Structure 1
């Protein structure tokens, strides 16, 4: 349930509030049924086995469950080789694994998890059949990543015992599990699923049934903003990826990550979320990515995506500016806001910092008269002789900084700005005059979607940050990022972006507006 009445107190968030089966997680001896013997089904089966459950593995394709059981046994053997399991533990787990040829053999299971093809009709039919097989106290769960948990449960006689258990691939290694309550999910069923995931050594997060759940909903801007910069000729993929990694602190850039995921898979998730939100512009797919998919350039698996792969393929280098002389001094007007650490770094580099005023903005004046300002939602062409620099997760640790200038920015200002950051030990990438640049616009939009999800009861702020840290390895959760950057930072940047591109793609949410306005109101009152 999404709205003001959503219960945010724990994993039992649901639309009915009815009680259900005993909310305690299943004991290790409780049989678990897994339907679907593909990659995800095998991974979930392995997790349940290692947690001590008898596992019955079924697949509609004859012989596939048996082959999957053999593959699981081989993986458990490799864990023994690595010292992560003893031989006795492997033998006991293998003895608990039983491939079965019919759904009827799942009778007696305390939990059945489905990991079959992502088609609503197929999943609904499967769970209708399971209802006739398992007992009334059996928890039914889907591992869907793109379909509505509520819609799947809508075909059941007892939808209250149905829940989403969204594992991430590879399930044995990834710690995160999204526990998704559909509109009709009983509180006890959601709690039981949550405790099950926790007893299996996972980190569960509770969320309401919303397109993309937590991770796939909130992560869309990470890809979308990188593609937008590219589509607007701001920078090439290698440069954008390098800035996201070396300045933003992300483990991978958007282009290399989508090549790893598969362009078809990533684009399908984006399109599914976009369509589920009634083509909300904030979730719009990328035309450039669509062209890649149409061309069959799907990434690593096809040998070509944004980058080339295979024997002899070389990754293009990011744009890096030639060495430039640093300025003798800078004049600091204001404290630079989120970039305030730069002043100490500049002094440590032996460059004089002259400070003037306290509230005159977040900018540096260079000896030639040009200005250096932290990226906001405006463009360099709007001002005389301005260079913008991008947001960094940690300016001291960052190894690369992006600069943005317009055709009207003087060559001296660009050179002085370049030399300044090079003197701080940073590689410099000069990109086009793109408002919000790369890291700043990406982080602002992640913050916006996160706070919007909290306001709509999708999940708690804590669970959202946990999900983004564990599910996609972000350097900070978006809510924590907001705390560090200031309550109105993201709103101000997105409001500027929206004014320059009123398509709605970057329009700040009502939740973000309230977040920023509350901050301003408290400050004025004080």
Structure 2
């Protein structure tokens, strides 16, 4: 039974892990190459425990007991009593292998060596010790005391006993344990590619601004943060190397290709909140949002909607009529409002043999949300876009205008989020339930990717991706075999 755990490395992750373990009842030996850093980490954990008592989240007796279980040690040799060691040092394969080689000489033969790596192969780390079976991944998320989930990653040679020990620790601290295969990015960092890389590609192609993409993902898709808010929060200097690493580890898989414009932003020092400017500017620590584009005063449109698209717009047409919009029985002399899935306004207009100068498109996927997305064809008369924009504002909607793009913003990003989750399931990196729970807890998405796909409809997601791939020719949009088969067979994605 494990009652004493060593934590090596006392940075943000190490001190959070140590605090969490101590609260759960483990004796924690904290070591850092700089003794003052280890002591500072223990002191910080004590302050956090005091704050928890002030907020009535724990009793003073429990907080003091947790503090008493935190012990700073000054030499690796003093870690000998530990039945498990968790390293939280720099993301360097050589450094982690060297540390574990030392620890296996100090700790007992049955002690587990756990790595908190977020990007390195657990199997590669284990290759540096004489008994690789005792090495397992135990990947926590920042801030550790609040992010109550952990990835448990056995390497190719990890003994089941080491995996069971890691799962036991996760259970005792009350965290959701996500069992993952040793694959690039494990589950959470892998699953995050859909939001970040597709959002970046939309901006790279000058279809929408960073703020526009974030607004759509927040207000229309229900995400807590859009991709560029998230990158500013984590720091582009930290996130961009991870984007590159996962792209490289998957041998330049097009789905994970980072935006080409990101490298210049890193080089320019536009890292986000920490530098005062990233994709947004920050004043006194607060983000400065650019103003939304508003149409000038003017008339409202006379609208015509193709019969086959009226059901998709049933949520918004009555509000438009209530705002004073006149509906037409014919396309002649009216603004033709289209609601395509996976297509751009140009392709939808040509498919229906309509005059592109009179066509506007609206994203049907999010018409029932507080924000709608509209786009003209390159030939659309500019005033028609303003007319529709005015009408939607009067109907009580926030409005984002983008350039003509297959799949709008929400369709593209959500389809890629779902497709990435399907590919993770296809590769059996994690079980479907773990994929959904992990993404909700680890990334804060409103739904896991497989549950999201079932909500949108697997057939609809498949259709969006096939249309995107057909129009762009980009293999990044090719559907996962897992998605394609289940959509064709009418099976759910999440089970």
Q: Same fold (TM over 0.5)?
A: yes
The yes-or-no answer on 1:431 pairing with 2:397 is no
Unaligned runs of 5+ in 2: none
Pairing partner for 1:100 from 73, 76, 91: 73
Q: Report the Cα offset of residue 367 of structure 1.
A: 7.2
Verify the 8 A CA contact 2:269 2:275 in the aligned structure 1. yes
Pairing partner for 1:196 from 161, 169, 173: 169
- CA gap of 1:352–1:478, structure 2 versus 1, over 3 A, is farther
Counterparts of residues 334-413 of structure 1 (less than 5 Å): 334=308, 341-342=315-316, 368=334, 370-380=336-346, 383=350, 384-385=355-356, 386-390=359-363, 392=365, 395-396=367-368, 398-411=369-382, 413=384
Structure 1 residues 413-448: Cα deviation after superposition (integer angstroms, max 9, x where no partner): 535543553343111111111211211100001111
Relative to the length of structure 2, the TM-score reads 0.90
Alpha-carbon distance in 1 for matches of 2:196, 2:296? 29
- CA gap of 1:379–1:327, structure 2 versus 1, over 3 A, is closer
Verify the 8 A CA contact 1:321 1:429 in the aligned structure 2. no
Q: Report the Cα offset of residue 115 of structure 1.
A: 0.3
Moved more, 486-495 or 186-195: 186-195
Alpha-carbon distance in 2 for matches of 1:338, 1:467? 32
Counterparts of residues 284-363 of structure 1 (less than 5 Å): 284-311=257-284, 314-322=288-296, 331=305, 333-334=307-308, 341-342=315-316
Q: Report the Cα offset of residue 462 of structure 1.
A: 1.1
Higher helix share: 2
Counterparts of residues 49-88 of structure 1 (less than 5 Å): 49-88=22-61
- CA gap of 1:186–1:351, structure 2 versus 1, over 3 A, is farther
Verify the 8 A CA contact 1:142 1:163 in the aligned structure 2. yes
Aligned equivalent of 1:8: none
Alpha-carbon distance in 1 for matches of 2:35, 2:261? 41
- CA gap of 1:115–1:503, structure 2 versus 1, over 3 A, is same
- CA gap of 1:277–1:313, structure 2 versus 1, over 3 A, is closer
Alpha-carbon distance in 2 for matches of 1:497, 1:307? 29
Q: Report the Cα offset of residue 505 of structure 1.
A: 2.2
Alpha-carbon distance in 2 for matches of 1:341, 1:150? 52
> Helix, strand or coil: the match of 1:63?
helix
Verify the 8 A CA contact 2:418 2:449 in the aligned structure 1. yes
Q: Report the Cα offset of residue 160 of structure 1.
A: 2.1
Unaligned runs of 5+ in 1: 1-25, 356-363, 521-526
Moved more, 447-456 or 418-427: 418-427
Structure 1 residues 338-390: Cα deviation after superposition (integer angstroms, max 9, x where no partner): 766446766787879899xxxxxxxx979715132144144526634332323
Moved more, 152-161 or 47-56: 152-161
Q: Report the Cα offset of residue 212 of structure 1.
A: 0.8
Alpha-carbon distance in 2 for matches of 1:350, 1:513? 43
Q: Report the Cα offset of residue 149 of structure 1.
A: 1.0
Structure 1 residues 61-109: Cα deviation after superposition (integer angstroms, max 9, x where no partner): 2332122212211221111222112221122111111111112211121
Q: Report the Cα offset of residue 320 of structure 1.
A: 4.1
Verify the 8 A CA contact 2:27 2:69 in the aligned structure 1. yes
- CA gap of 1:323–1:124, structure 2 versus 1, over 3 A, is farther
> Helix, strand or coil: the match of 1:409?
coil
Aligned equivalent of 2:102: 129
Alpha-carbon distance in 2 for matches of 1:335, 1:82? 53
Q: Report the Cα offset of residue 183 of structure 1.
A: 1.4
> Helix, strand or coil: the match of 1:309?
strand
Aligned equivalent of 1:500: 471
> Helix, strand or coil: the match of 2:458?
coil
- CA gap of 1:234–1:161, structure 2 versus 1, over 3 A, is same
Aligned equivalent of 1:260: 233
Does 1 or 2 have the higher relative contact order (CA < 8 Å, sep 6+)? 1
Alpha-carbon distance in 2 for matches of 1:219, 1:341? 31
Q: Report the Cα offset of residue 511 of structure 1.
A: 2.5
Verify the 8 A CA contact 1:243 1:402 in the aligned structure 2. yes
Verify the 8 A CA contact 2:247 2:258 in the aligned structure 1. yes
Alpha-carbon distance in 2 for matches of 1:85, 1:99? 23
Alpha-carbon RMSD across the aligned residues, in angstroms, is 2.7
Aligned equivalent of 1:488: 459
Verify the 8 A CA contact 1:366 1:416 in the aligned structure 2. no
Relative to the length of structure 1, the TM-score reads 0.85
Aligned equivalent of 1:270: 243
Q: Report the Cα offset of residue 172 of structure 1.
A: 0.5
Verify the 8 A CA contact 1:329 1:366 in the aligned structure 2. no
Counterparts of residues 83-232 of structure 1 (less than 5 Å): 83-232=56-205
Q: Report the Cα offset of residue 124 of structure 1.
A: 0.8
